[in-house]
């Protein structure tokens, strides 16, 4: 379904990804984890063709994605940093993205879930970080695609919105989708993920279920397990 083959990415002298091989062959929720700067966003952007790998190949449904763009039509994507036009209202922005995507979209239930109705006629530039993130989520989730990529969807969200997000991700999974997610909220990752992929120093340091990680690190606590694999004895 999604295959990274020998992906290396360098920014000048900085090596961010080093010969990363990763196959995702089954639908489900895959959490991409790793410390800040470990290359999670870079890996995602390589998949989308927003960053060109220094070497290696990426396949989606068996097709090499290099130089192609049609495959993106089947991906819903939430960027970690979304620079929305400040002088556009929420409604105008929604309309713009809908026009660009040329796909059926169901934004109204998402607007309701995140309580965005009072903000629809406000300029994006006037919204708080959390509210902007809710708009970002509406834009990402309003279209129905088999691959969903959420780069730090939890950032800035209040507890209620976090709860709603979890429900939405579970619904997406039940539709048989392949979902890639990065987040620093470990409770969410533990609750939702079928597998975790832990990036460290440009390589995949661990891949498996949360339970497998706990067994490997001999701990019952997920936060503790993550801390353990960063220790030299496991590196
Ligand atoms: P993560 O998402 O895991 O926090 P990133 O993939 O955003 O990490 O970044 C990995 C590393 O690559 C960081 O050191 C970051 O500064 C660097 N980096 C990311 N994008 C660029 C870029 N366009 N130019 C130069 N360095 C970059
Ligand atoms: Mg990132």
**Mean pLDDT, rounded, for 55-75:** 95
Assess whether pLDDT exceeds 80 at residue 190: yes
Assess whether pLDDT exceeds 80 at residue 232: no
Assess whether pLDDT exceeds 90 at residue 37: yes
* Cα of 79 from ligand 2 centre, angstroms: 9
Give the atom of ligand 1 at the shortest distance from the alpha carbon of 199: 3
Proximal ligand: closest to the CA of 200:
1
Q: What is the pLDDT of residues 203-212, one digit of tens each?
A: 999 999 999 9
* Cα of 69 from ligand 2 centre, angstroms: 22
Identify the residue whose C-alpha is closest to ligand 1 atom 13: 37
Q: What is the pLDDT of residues 133-152, one digit of tens each?
A: 999 999 999 999 999 999 99
Nearest 5°: phi and psi at 51?
Answer: -130, 135
Provide the 3-class DSSP secondary structure of residue 32. strand
Identify the residue whose C-alpha is closest to ligand 1 atom 27: 11
Q: What is the pLDDT of residue 102?
A: 87
* Cα of 114 from ligand 2 centre, angstroms: 23
Q: What percent of the chain has pLDDT over 70?
A: 99
* Cα of 42 from ligand 1 centre, angstroms: 6
Q: What is the pLDDT of residues 106-121, one digit of tens each?
A: 999 999 999 999 999 9
Q: What is the pLDDT of residue 231?
A: 83
Domains along the chain? 2-234 (3.40.50.300)
Assess whether pLDDT exceeds 80 at residue 26: yes
Q: What is the pLDDT of residue 234?
A: 67
Going by pLDDT thresholds of 50, 70 and 90, the confidence category of residue 235 is low
Q: What is the helix, strand, coil percentage profile of the chain, to 5? A: 40, 30, 35
Pocket of ligand 1 (CB under 6 A): 11, 14, 16, 34, 36-42
Identify the residue whose C-alpha is closest to ligand 1 atom 15: 37
**Sheet containing strand 14-24, strands side by side:** 14-24, 2-11, 55-60, 63-64
**Mean pLDDT, rounded, for 162-177:** 97
């Amino acid at each position: 379904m999604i295959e990274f083959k020998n992906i290396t990415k360098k920014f000048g002298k900085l090596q961010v990804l080093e010969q990363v091989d990763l196959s995702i062959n089954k639908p489900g929720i895959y959490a991409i984890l790793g410390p800040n700067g470990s290359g999670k966003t870079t890996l995602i952007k390589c998949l989308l063709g927003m960053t060109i790998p220094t070497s290696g190949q990426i396949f989606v449904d068996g097709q090499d994605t290099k130089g192609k763009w049609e495959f993106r039509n089947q991906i819903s994507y939430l960027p970690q940093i979304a620079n929305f036009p400040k002088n556009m209202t929420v409604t105008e922005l929604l309309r713009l993205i809908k026009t660009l995507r040329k796909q059926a979209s169901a934004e109204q239930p998402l607007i309701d879930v995140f309580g965005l109705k009072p903000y629809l006629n406000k300029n994006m530039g006037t919204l708080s970080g959390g509210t902007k993130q809710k708009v970002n989520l509406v834009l990402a989730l309003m279209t129905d695609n088999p691959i969903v990529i959420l780069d730090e969807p939890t950032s800035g969200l209040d507890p209620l919105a976090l709860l709603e997000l979890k429900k939405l991700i579970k619904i997406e999974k039940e539709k048989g989708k392949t979902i890639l997610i990065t987040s620093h909220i470990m409770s969410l990752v533990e609750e939702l993920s079928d597998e975790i992929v832990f990036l460290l120093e440009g390589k995949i340091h661990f891949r498996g279920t949360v339970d497998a990680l706990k067994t490997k690190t001999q701990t019952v606590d997920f936060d503790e397990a993550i801390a353990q694999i960063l220790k030299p004895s496991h590196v």
